[in-house]
Amino acid sequence: MNKVLNFLVVTAIFMMAATSVSAHPLFQRVSPEAGEVFTVSPEYFAIQYSKTVRLVKLNLLDQLNNKIDLPDTLLRNESKQHLISLPTLPVGAYRLTWILMGSDGHKMTGKTHFSITEK
């Protein structure tokens, strides 16, 4: 392979890789933030991505790994931001994990954790 052809092939591969990366929705922020400490139970779980995503699963676990029921009525919406009400939680440590689907069809996962202490 001559040098010019070699360069063109490498450039084409690089451009394809760059295109697939730019199509991917990027995580921007979550609330509660990882490690956040509350003295009152947080009212909402909120996430924001750079592009439209569909939340397909959201799990809330306490420190004993008990699953806490969440409303799933908003899980079907496609949006850059998702806001889900949380139940009033007792003092303790919690983990939230989610699975979502980007408009490019890629599944992505995310997680955060927080705690609630006495006032």
Out of 81, 104, 107, 111, name the contact with Cu ion by CB under 5 A.
104
* Closest CB 75 distance from Cu ion, rounded Å: 19
**Single-letter residue type at 11:** T
Give the per-residue contact string, 8-27, with Cu ion (x = CB under 5 A; - = no).
----------------x---
32 lies in the site for Cu ion, by CB under 5 A: no
**For the purposes of burial, counting CB atoms within 10 Å of the CB of 101, is it exposed (0-12), middle (13-18) or buried (19 or more)?**
middle
- Near Cu ion by CB under 5 A, which window of 6-14, 56-64, 66-74, 95-103? 95-103
- Near Cu ion by CB under 5 A, which window of 38-46, 49-57, 77-85, 101-109? 101-109
| Lookup: tokens for 1 | 């392979």
50 lies in the site for Cu ion, by CB under 5 A: no
106 lies in the site for Cu ion, by CB under 5 A: yes
**Single-letter residue type at 108:** M
Q: How many CB atoms lie within 10 A of CB 89?
A: 17
Contact, 6 vs 85, CB < 8 A?
no
The contacts of residue 36 (CB under 8 Å, 6+ apart) are 42, 112, 114, 115
Q: What does the binding site for Cu ion look like in residue numbers (CB under 5 A)?
A: 24, 102, 104, 106
